[in-house]
Structure 1
Amino acid sequence: MNLINKKVTHKRFGMGSIVKQNDSIVEINFATDNKKFVYPDVFGEHLELHDASIAHSLHQIIQEKVLEQKEEEMKKEEEIKLQRKYQELRLGHEKLMRNHKLHPESQMVFWCDAEEQNSSLSEWKIFSGEIKSGNNKGKPNKPIRLHQNSAVLLTAVEPGRPEEDRRILGVYMVKDGFIGKLCEDGYIPAHSEYRLQLTEQESDQMLFWNYYVNEKFPQKQTWNTGKYRYFDNSWMAQILRDIVALKNDTREQEQAQQFFDHHCKMNQLIEQDLPKPNGSLMRA
C-alpha cells in the first residue's frame, strides 16, 4: 500500500505528511522536522490517516498482522510446551535408566502364530497383545520387566504337534533405550545389532522346553494361555551359549558370540558360573 504524500495526524507531533515508506518504517514530515516510526504498528493508536478509505484498508492490514503475531506467539508457546514435555520425558527416562535394578526374570519368550513367525523375523519387532479384561481392556500390554538387559525369544510349535516340540526361531535384545514401563503401543522393537535368526535345521535342535520349566509343573510342558512369559536371565544365557555352539558359519558364530557376551555383561552373568540347561524336558 502506497502512503507517500498522505496526510496524517500524530497525537504528539500534530499534522504531517508521509515522505518515505518501506515494509517496516514510515517517515513523516511534521512542521518542525521528520520523524520515523515502525510500520504499520504506529497507525491506529498514535497516528491517524486523513483518508478514510485508505485508513480502513490499512486497519485490515494491521488486524491481519496482529492475528499473524498471535498465531506466531501461540506456535512458540506450543513449541516451548513440547520442549518441556520432551525434557520431562528425557529426564524421566534417564532416571529410570540410572535407578534400574536387575530383575532375575527380565527375559521374555513369545508364542508365535504362523503370521507372527514371518513378521517378527522380518520386521524384528513383536506385539505384546491386548489386556483382556478390567478398566484397561483392549489397551496394549506393557512389558514392564523389559529393560536394557532384556532379550526376546521367539518360539513356535507346528499345528498338531505336542507342546514339548516347541522350537526356538530366533532371539533379539531390545532396542537401545527401550523401557517396558514406558511402552504405550505394546510393540517391542529389536536392537540394531544383537539379533539372531535360526535356520529350520538349527531350530529343530533348539527345543524351548530344554531350558524352560514351569515350577508348578516341573516335569510338564505347560504353556496354557497368553502370548508371552517372563523367564530367568540365566536361561536366556544358556540358550545363547548353545546357539553359539550350533552355528557353523564363522561370521554367524562371531555374531552369536558377541550377542552372548553382551547379554552376560548386561545381566551381570559369568559364563563359567552358568549351570547346564535343566528345563522340563531334561527332568522328564
Structure 2
Amino acid sequence: MNLINKKVTHKRFGIGSIVKHNDSSIEIHFASENKMFVFPDVFGQHLKLHDKSDAKVLEEIIQKKEIERKEEERKKEEEQKRQREKLVLRLEHEKLMKNHKLHPASQMVFWCDTEEQNNAFSEWQVFSGVLKSGNNKGKPNKPSRLHQNSAVLLTAIDSSMSEKDRRILGVYMVKEDFVGKLCEDGQIPAHSKYRIQLTEQESDQLLFWQYYINEKFPEKMTWKTGKYRYFENLWMAQILLDIISLKSDPNEQELAQQFFKHFCKMNQITVEEITKPNGALMRI
C-alpha cells in the first residue's frame, strides 16, 4: 500500500503529509517538523487518513496485524505454559532421582510373544500392557518400581513347551533418565548403550527358572497372568554374570562386562554378594 503524500491529521501535531513508510515505521511532515511513528500502530486513536478509501484499506491491514499479534501472543503464552510444565516435570524428576531408595526387587522380567520379540530388539522398548480392572481400566500399567538402576529381562516360551523351559532372549537397562513413576504411556525404552540380545544357542542355555523362584511356592514354575513381574536385583546380577561367560565374541563379551559393572554400581552390589543361581529349576 502506497501512502506517500497522503494527507493525515494527528491529534497533537495537526495536519501533515506522509513522507515515507515501510512495514514498521512511518515519517510524516508537519508544519514545524518531520515526525517518525510506529506503523501501523499510530493509526486509529492518534492519526487519521483523510482519504476514506485508503483509510478503509488501512483499517483492514490494522485488523490483520492485530489478529497476527494476538495469535503471536497466544503462541507465546502456550510456549511459556509448556516451559512451566516442563520445569515442574524436571523438578519432580530431580526430586525422585535425589530421594530414590533402591528397592531389592526393582528389575523387570517381561514375557514376549512372537510379535513382541521382533519389536523388542528392533525398537528396543517394551509395552507394560494395560490395566484389566479398577478405575483406571484400559490405561497403561505404570512400572512404578523401575528407575535408572533397573534392567528389563526379555523372555519367551514356545507354545509347545512347558513353563519350565522359558528362555531368556536378552536384557537391557532402562533409558538413562527413565522414572517408572512418571511413565504414563507404558513404554519402557532401553539405555543407549547397555542392551544385549542373545543368540538362539545362548538362549537355550539360559533358562529363566534357573534364577527365579516364588518364595511362597518354591516348587512351582507358573506364570499365570500379566506381561511382566518384578525381579530381584541379585538375580539379575547372576544372569548378567552368566551372560558374560556365554559370550565368545570379544566385543560382545566386553559389552556384557561393562553392562554387568554398570548394573552392580547402580544397584550397589558387590561381586562377593552374588551367589550361585538357586531358582526353581535348580531345586528339582
> For this structure pair, what is the TM-score category when the shorter chain's length is used for normalisation?
over 0.9
Q: CA RMSD in A?
A: 1.3
Q: Residue by residue, what CA displacement relative to the aligned partner does 1:115-137 show, whole Å, maximum 9, x if unpaired?
A: 11222122211111110011111
The verdict on how the C-alpha distance between 1:199 and 1:21 changes in structure 2, with shifts beyond 3 A counting, is: closer
Match of 2:140 in 1: 140
Match of 2:268 in 1: 268
Is the deviation greater in 35-44 or in 145-154?
35-44
Structure 1 residue 20 displacement after superposition: 2.7
Give the secondary-structure state (helix, strand or coil) at the position aligned to 2:189: strand
**Alpha carbons 1:108, 1:153 under 8 Å: kept:** yes
Structure 1 residue 93 displacement after superposition: 0.9
**Alpha carbons 1:212, 1:279 under 8 Å: kept:** yes
Map 1:161-180 → 2, pairs under 5 A? 161-180=161-180
Map 1:48-197 → 2, pairs under 5 A? 48-197=48-197
Structure 1 residue 73 displacement after superposition: 1.3
Q: Is residue 251 of structure 2 the alignment partner of residue 251 of structure 1?
A: yes
Structure 1 residue 183 displacement after superposition: 1.0
Distance 1:266 1:192 in 2: 16
**TM-score, length-scaled by structure 2:** 0.96
Q: Is residue 42 of structure 2 the alignment partner of residue 26 of structure 1?
A: no
Structure 2 letter corresponding to 1:67: I
Give the 4+ runs in structure 1 shifted more than 4 A: none
Match of 1:209 in 2: 209
Q: Is residue 24 of structure 2 the alignment partner of residue 6 of structure 1?
A: no
Structure 1 residue 283 displacement after superposition: 1.5
Distance 2:26 2:203 in 1: 80
Distance 1:19 1:196 in 2: 74
Structure 2 letter corresponding to 1:223: W
Give the secondary-structure state (helix, strand or coil) at the position aligned to 1:27: strand
Structure 1 residues not aligned, in runs of 5+: none
Q: Residue by residue, what CA displacement relative to the aligned partner does 1:249-274 show, whole Å, maximum 9, x if unpaired?
A: 22211111111111111100001221
Give the secondary-structure state (helix, strand or coil) at the position aligned to 2:95: helix
Identity value in percent: 72
The verdict on how the C-alpha distance between 1:15 and 1:187 changes in structure 2, with shifts beyond 3 A counting, is: same
**Alpha carbons 1:214, 1:222 under 8 Å: kept:** no
Structure 1 letter corresponding to 2:178: F
Structure 2 letter corresponding to 1:97: M
Distance 1:40 1:114 in 2: 65
Structure 1 residue 198 displacement after superposition: 1.2
Distance 2:86 2:33 in 1: 54
Distance 1:241 1:254 in 2: 12
Distance 2:190 2:112 in 1: 16
